[in-house]
Amino acid sequence: MDSLLLHVCCAPDGTVPWEALRDEGYDVTPYWYGANIFPEDEERRRREALLALCRVMGREPVLGGTPPDGWETAVRDLAAEPEGGRRCALCFALQLDGAAEAAEKLGIGLLCTTLTISPHKDAALINRIGAEAASRRGLRWLERVFRKGNGFVRSVARSKAMGLYRQTYCGCRYSIRTEVRT
């Protein structure tokens, strides 16, 4: 059984990919970044949802990432970018670099992400960034597009059935779809 570090962007998006990979025979270790999540209360709610998913799946997560101010500093010059633009690509890179670093430290040679379950994200870009992050650390990248086969729809149903918190925006202050961004 191959060990795999699965970058889990959020608990709802982690449901279907984690189950699919487990069913394929992978020994899945979940990794969560979280430094991009705003505000702090939202980060706490999402982390608690991840911990709930991990309890159901019987695994402890690896909680990683830079402090939120480090993430903010990294993306500051891209604040005006539209959702799905260069800021998001940099955010994916920060998250997947963190996951690759964690995998290397844990001696796990295979890396994947749940980010490709979203119909709002560029799966080809995510897989390219993930492959680059893995390669820099001598790891293998498992390319997947989890939204195929109604993966996203199934993840919504699965997370609701599990009672997991479902957020209404990607995570960072710039992705909030309201006028108040404090």
Residue ranges of domains in the chain, CATH in brackets: 3-175 (3.40.50.620)
pLDDT digits over 44-65, tens only?
999 999 999 999 999 999 999 7
26-46 mean pLDDT: 96
Q: Find the angle CA(169)-CA(73)-CA(75) to the nearest 5 degrees.
A: 50
Peptide bond into 39 cis (omega under 30): yes
Helix (H) or strand (E) holding 140: strand 140-141
pTM > 0.75 = yes
- What is each CA distance from 172 to 1, 112, 129, in whole angstroms? 35, 21, 19
**Mean of the per-residue pLDDT values for the chain?**
95
